[in-house]
Amino acid sequence: MSVSDYRSSGVDLDAMGALKERIKAFATATHGPEVLNPDGDFAGLYRLNGYSEPVLVASTDGVGTKLKIAAHLGHYESIGQDLVTLNVNDILTRGARPLFFLDYVAFSELDAQLMDTLMRGIVWGCREVGCALIGGETAQLPDTYGPDEIELAGFVVGVAESDAVLDGSTIEVGDHIIGIPSNGLHTNGFSLVRRVFGIDENPSVLFRHYHELQHQLGEELLVRHRCYYPMLEPVLGLVKGLAHITGGGIPGKVPPVLPSGMCASFRRGSWRVPPVFDLLQQEGGVGIEEMYRVFNMGLGMIAVCDDENLPAVQEKVPDAILVGSIVEREGEEQVIIEDG
C-alpha cells in the first residue's frame, strides 16, 4: 500500500492550521499589554511589571476522567473553565496572582465544534481571573485516542512578592480553620463516580433525574469547579495558609500546610455537604472515611487565620465558614474530623 501524503495517515495539516488560527483569535480576548507576541508562535512572551522581589509560582494539572462525562454529554465549555480554575486554585494556595496560562489538547480526529466550545470555556476561565492565554499545543495523533477521546492538560504561571508567599510556617495552635464551600464534585473522584453509577456501561443514566439533586445526574457532574481566586485575593494578607481540597480530600490536602507538631481539627456538621455526596455514598455503599479521602465533601478551599484577622476574613468572604481549629498533634494523625 502506498501513502502519498500526511492526510492519508490521519493528519490534516490544513484543518489543523485553520484550528490554530481560531485558537489565536480566542486567546486574543485574554491579552493585555503584558503579552508581547499575540501570535504566540513557538513560545509566548510576557512582560512582568510591578514587583520588587517576584517569585514565580507554577502549576500543571488536568481535569481527569470528568472528560468522559463531557464526551458522553457533548458539552465542553465547563471543562475548559475547569482546566483553568483548578490550576489557578492551586497557585492561589501560595498567594500567587495568575499571570498566564497554556493548554495542551490532543485527539485522533479533529472536531472543530468541540474545539471551539472547549476554547470558549478556557477563555472564560482566563478572563475570570485576569489571566492571559499565551500559547499551548494542539496535536492530532491518529490511532492514539478513540474517535470521541481527547487529552487535556493546563499550565499556569503566577507571581507573588517573596515576603507574601504563603507556606503555613506561621500557623499556631489556636488558629482558626475556615472552609470555603464547594459547589459539588469539582474535578476529583470521577473514576469512582463513573463506577458507582455504571456510566461507562450505561451512559443514559446521565439523563436520569434524581430527586436529591433536583436535576439530571449529568447536569450535576458537569457543574464547574468553583474558582476561589476572585473571592480570596482580597484576604491573602490576612490568612496564614491555604489548601485546595482536590484528590486526597481534607485528610490528604491539609497536612502539607501544617507546621510540625500541628493538627487540624474539623467539626463535622459545621458546614453543608452537597447532596451529591450523600447520593454517592448511598448508591455505591462507600464508607465515610473513603468519602472524605476521595472527595472534597463540601469544602473546596481551606484557610487558616488567627483571632485578630478572623472578623475581616469573614466580612470579606461572605460564605466563609468556621469549621475547626489548629490543635497540638497527638500521635500520627494530622487531620481529625469529628462530629461537632
Q: What is the DSSP code string of 145-203? A: S-TT-EEEEEEEEEEEEGGG---STT--TTPEEEEEE--S-TTS-HHHHHHHHTTTT-G
| Per-residue model confidence as pLDDT tens digits over 160-183 | 999 999 999 999 999 999 999 999
Query: What pLDDT, on the 0 to 100 scale, is given for residue 125?
Result: 95
Say what the pLDDT of residue 45 is.
Answer: 84
Q: What integer pLDDT is reported at residue 9 of this predicted model?
A: 47
* Residue ranges in the chain whose pLDDT is less than 70: 1-27, 38, 40-42, 340
Pairing of the two strands 299-305 and 176-181: antiparallel
Cell 485516542, residue located = 145
pLDDT given for residue 223 in this prediction: 96
What pTM does this model have?
0.90
By DSSP bridging, strand 299-305 and strand 262-268 are unpaired
User: What separation, in Å, do the N-terminal and C-terminal C-alpha atoms of the chain show?
Assistant: 72
Per the structure block, which three cell numbers stand in for 91? Answer: 497557585
Name which of 302, 324, 177, 326 is nearest 248 in CA terms.
302
Question: Is residue 306 packed enough to be buried (19+ CB in 10 Å), middle (13-18) or exposed (0-12)?
Answer: middle
Q: What is the pLDDT of residues 200-239, one digit of tens each?
A: 999 999 999 999 899 999 999 999 999 999 999 999 999 9
Question: Bridge-partner residues for 180, per DSSP?
Answer: 301
What is the residue whose three cell numbers read 491579552?
Answer: 31
Contact between 187 and 225 (Cβ < 8 Å): yes
The pLDDT value given to residue 137: 80
User: Mind listing the domains of the chain with CATH numbers?
Assistant: 7-164 (3.30.1330.10), 176-339 (3.90.650.10)
Quote the strand ranges of the chain, DSSP E. 54-61, 97-107, 132-140, 150-161, 176-181, 209-210, 215-216, 241-244, 262-268, 299-305, 321-328, 335-339
pLDDT at 149: 79
